[in-house]
Amino acid sequence: MPNAIEGGLPHGGRLQQAAREYGIAVSEWLDLSTGIAPWPFALPAIPVSAWARLPEADDGLHAAACAYYGVEQVLPVAGSQAAIQVLPRLRGPSRVGVLSPCYAEHAHAWTQTGHEVVEIADQQLEAQLDSLDVLVVVNPNNPTGRLYRREQLLSWHARLAQRGGWLVVDEAFIDITPEHSLAAASGREGLIVLRSFGKFFGLAGARLGCVVAAEPLLQALAEQLGPWTISGPTRVIAAHCFAALAAQQQQRQRALQASARLATLLSEHGLTPTGGCGLFQWWQGERAAEVQRFFARRGILLRLFAQHSSLRFGLPADDAQFQRLALALKERVDE
Amino acid sequence: MPNAIEGGLPHGGRLQQAAREYGIAVSEWLDLSTGIAPWPFALPAIPVSAWARLPEADDGLHAAACAYYGVEQVLPVAGSQAAIQVLPRLRGPSRVGVLSPCYAEHAHAWTQTGHEVVEIADQQLEAQLDSLDVLVVVNPNNPTGRLYRREQLLSWHARLAQRGGWLVVDEAFIDITPEHSLAAASGREGLIVLRSFGKFFGLAGARLGCVVAAEPLLQALAEQLGPWTISGPTRVIAAHCFAALAAQQQQRQRALQASARLATLLSEHGLTPTGGCGLFQWWQGERAAEVQRFFARRGILLRLFAQHSSLRFGLPADDAQFQRLALALKERVDE
């Protein structure tokens, strides 16, 4: 039988593939290859009707999402990836700047749709901004962890918007530090904020994201995506998680602590992070590919960014996982 | 707060809306407005990891789907609707015939993508076929229930394919009578078969469908849709259901019996079906809109096709539901 067909680019989280490549059973791996919180939110009971019936748009998810994001309008989508695929279809041929390195699907989607894409380093942006129709920023950035200030982003948006341009801010990792989000500002035309559900809530398998933007743009997105894009059970658990304020607070604290502990641990073993945020640490170094294989042979999966010779470390979930990582780090130093 | 935004056209299954319109609580309705089997398959236990982790394409769903459809290659998608949205983007400007009346999202999607769409009645097809680039057929058709023979469809396909054309066969309701499916024939170029998971397995909230076609077309579809389109829990339950052969046999028998019983009941009360299939009956008549409202006032939701003045009746699940429908039918006759 041929292999299963997959859209998109290579990403973290591909344990089945790693298991085959390294001859280590899936259950034996410590997967630190993603930036997903390793503490999935407690799941509510899911009524059979959520599986059996077609999902309905007015079932409570929309209201819960609006409250969580502090906005008047939002479009839930089947993962922010679904919006990334479709956004480029809502503009005529454009010059699109992507602050790089960042999550590679942005440049890929705009390129595939026929736009002109330029990958821009932070220090080049000022010189390039007025030549762009669209600017894509991941904030905090993945994998570098760089955080852009709200005022900075809003000033870039203003310069783009006065020429009919867009600022797309992918806030997939911002829920740990929501005070930096532009969601509440995104009623203004040409400001499009993408939010991810799975990373912060630790439920990436649910496939949910939200787009916050002016309503006509959300309408156009919904028209591209069609009806019933989100599974019924996902709608039930997301509405529940969006309202679980105490658990959200706990998740933020837990992630910040684990991320700081991870940074310290890496620094103590010669891998001082180049950057990071509340959900991962990032290390850049000449031997990144070699380091990735070293850990993989010990059943610890990291995400290699070969083009930028760097590694992303997701958060260990508990002391045992920290100890396993520490042991491998020590072996490497001792080698 | 503004209403939730929805893509697509009006459809059956909108109980929240019906509840508001008729002042009847959601829990009080008998929803016969869809063609979804009213007996959801038993759900296996879902490991938390299916919710927590990103879904992986090689997790077993692909193999189970191939076995169920009797094919070598298949692309699972988030409902056949997801494929309907995207298929029109894989062709340059085309003349697209849609055998009508049928599921309205086909014509809508091709039109929205800028193709020329002609709605064609069965008896006009022979004269029009050689002017088309693409022909879309729903088989068995929704809502008419009309079943097209395999030989007929393959001959239409051959005529289209020799000019680089496509035959798209939407087999959303064919699982009751799988001997009529073209899935196993769809390795040939220009034959695209869409299958729905939710209708036969009674799990429409799962959001799953499968596309069977030549591999390059599936690759192009996957590229449009991007990675991780299907939720992890849906992948788990679908792999389980695809392998549950005895339960599938029971579902087929149960649906055929209920559909026949429904046809008899409607006939006995002056609504002799104009057509139907294993998952619904269809009645066309001048007073369709009035009949729909008559039942809705009694908390029985039917699907009205206003343009063709007709009604679709989904299957009642059990004796109690049949009796409730029978009572309303009798009231109507007595009025």
Q: Which amino acid is at A48?
A: V
The position carrying tokens 């799975």 is A198
Q: What is the pLDDT of residues A267-315, one digit of tens each?
A: 999 999 999 999 999 999 999 999 999 999 999 999 999 999 999 999 9
What is the Cβ-side half-sphere exposure of residue B185, based on CA atoms within 13 angstroms?
A: 17
Beta strands in chain A (DSSP E): 30-31, 75-77, 95-99, 116-120, 134-138, 166-170, 191-196, 209-212, 275-277, 280-284, 300-301, 303-305, 310-314
CA atoms of B76 and B221, how far apart (whole Å) = 10
In total, the C-beta contacts within 8 angstroms joining chain A to chain B are 222
pLDDT confidence of residue B10? 83
What is the Cβ-side half-sphere exposure of residue A38, based on CA atoms within 13 angstroms?
A: 20
* Contact across the interface for B206 and A230, Cβ inside 8 Å: no
Q: Are A220 and A89 in contact (CB under 8 A)?
A: no
Q: Are B95 and B118 in contact (CB under 8 A)?
A: yes
What's the mean per-residue pLDDT of chain A? 96
How large is the ipTM? 0.96
* Contact across the interface for B222 and A5, Cβ inside 8 Å: yes
Q: What is the pLDDT of residues B101-115, one digit of tens each?
A: 999 999 999 999 999
> Residue A224's closest CA among A106, A9, A77?
A77
Q: Which of A15, A38, A85 sits opposite B226 (nearest CB)?
A: A85
Mean pLDDT of A33-56: 97
pLDDT confidence of residue B89? 97
Q: Which of A84, A105, A205 sits opposite B232 (nearest CB)?
A: A205
Q: Which of A15, A16, A21, A54 to mutate to test the interface with B (most CBs of B within 10 A)?
A: A54
Strands A134-138 and A166-170: parallel
Given a cut of 90, is residue A7 above it in pLDDT?
A: no
Given a cut of 90, is residue A6 above it in pLDDT?
A: no
Confidence of residue A230 (pLDDT cuts 50, 70, 90): very high
Q: Which residues of A touch B215 (CB under 8 A)?
A: 2, 5
* Contact across the interface for B43 and A51, Cβ inside 8 Å: yes
| B219: closest chain A residue by CA | A5
- Please state, for a pLDDT cut of 70, what percent of chain A lies above it: 100
pLDDT confidence of residue A11? 86
Q: Which residues of A touch B198 (CB under 8 A)?
A: 54
* Contact across the interface for A56 and B14, Cβ inside 8 Å: yes
| A203: closest chain B residue by CA | B52
- Using alpha carbons, list the distances in angstroms from residue B277 to A302, B121, B217: 52, 19, 30
Residue B294, both tokens: 């008559």
- Using alpha carbons, list the distances in angstroms from residue A193 to A138, A185, A214, B177: 10, 9, 10, 46
* Contact across the interface for A226 and B73, Cβ inside 8 Å: no
CA atoms of A34 and A40, how far apart (whole Å) = 14
Confidence of residue B146 (pLDDT cuts 50, 70, 90): very high
Q: What is the pLDDT of residues A134-192, one digit of tens each?
A: 999 999 999 999 999 999 999 999 999 999 999 999 999 999 999 999 999 988 999 99
Q: Where is B282: in which H helix or E strand?
A: strand B280-284
pLDDT confidence of residue A186? 82
* Contact across the interface for A205 and B55, Cβ inside 8 Å: yes
User: Nearest C-alpha of chain B: how many angstroms from A85?
Assistant: 7
Mean pLDDT of A48-66: 96
Mean pLDDT of B180-188: 92
Between helix A61-69 and helix A232-242 the angle, nearest 10°, is 40
CA atoms of B217 and B322, how far apart (whole Å) = 44
| A27: closest chain B residue by CA | B49
* Contact across the interface for A53 and B205, Cβ inside 8 Å: yes
pLDDT confidence of residue B70? 96
* Contact across the interface for A226 and B105, Cβ inside 8 Å: yes
Angle among Cα A219, A225, A231 to the nearest 5 degrees reads 110
Q: Which residues of A touch B49 (CB under 8 A)?
A: 205
What's the mean per-residue pLDDT of chain B? 96
Q: Which of A56, A69, A108, A201 to mutate to test the interface with B (most CBs of B within 10 A)?
A: A56
| A234: closest chain B residue by CA | B231
* Contact across the interface for A2 and B36, Cβ inside 8 Å: no
> Residue A65's closest CA among A239, A244, A249?
A239
